[in-house]
Amino acid sequence: MINKISHIGIVVKDLDRALAKFKGFGLTCTETTELTELGVKIAFFPVGDSQMELICFLDAEKGLGSIVRSQKGTINHICFEVDDVEKTIQDFEKNGVRLIKGYPKQGAHGRVAFFDPKTTEQVLIEICELASM
C-alpha cells in the first residue's frame, strides 16, 4: 500500500541556478549533500508531507549518472497547492517565471495555472487553488 509521495526527483544541469529559482518560488532548501560515490549533489525541499529532490550530476559518466539519465520516462509536471493563484502568479513572475498563455483557468479541482518550463529549470510546474466546498 502506498501512503504518500516521499519525494519527486528532478535532474538539473546547474544546481546553484536551480536552488535560486526554487527558493524564489517560496520553497526552502533544508539540506544539500554531495554523494561522491554516486557522483551527485542533491538538494532537498520539503513540500507538505513530501519532498522535492534536485539532483545534479557532477560527472555524467560516473556512478549512476549515465543509467539514470538514460531512462525514457519523465515527470510530466509537479503541482503545488496554493491559497491564491493570482498572488502566486505575481510572486513567480517576480522571480522571472513566465505563465503559459491561456492560464489561469478552471481545472479539475480548482483554478490552475501552468508555467513555461523554459523559465522553471525545464520543469513543468502547475499551481492549483482548490475550489471551496
Residues, the chain, total?
A: 133
The model's pLDDT over 50-81, given as tens digits with 9 standing for 90+, comes to 899 888 888 766 655 554 555 444 567 888 98
The Cα–Cα gap between 81 and 84 comes to: 9
- Do 64 and 80 have their domain in common? no
**Residue 18: which domain range?**
1-72
In a shared domain, residues 67 and 85: no
* CATH code, domain with 40: 3.10.180.10
pLDDT of residue 57: 83
Note the pTM of the prediction, 2 decimals. 0.67
Query: For residue 122, which of 21, 41, 25, 7 has the smallest C-alpha distance?
Result: 21
Are residues 16 and 55 both part of a single domain? yes
Distance in angstroms (rounded) separating the CA atoms of residues 22 and 120:
8
What is the Cα–Cα distance from 68 to 114, expressed in whole angstroms? 26
Number of domains in the chain: 2
Query: Within this chain, do residues 67 and 81 fall inside the same structural domain, yes or no?
Result: no
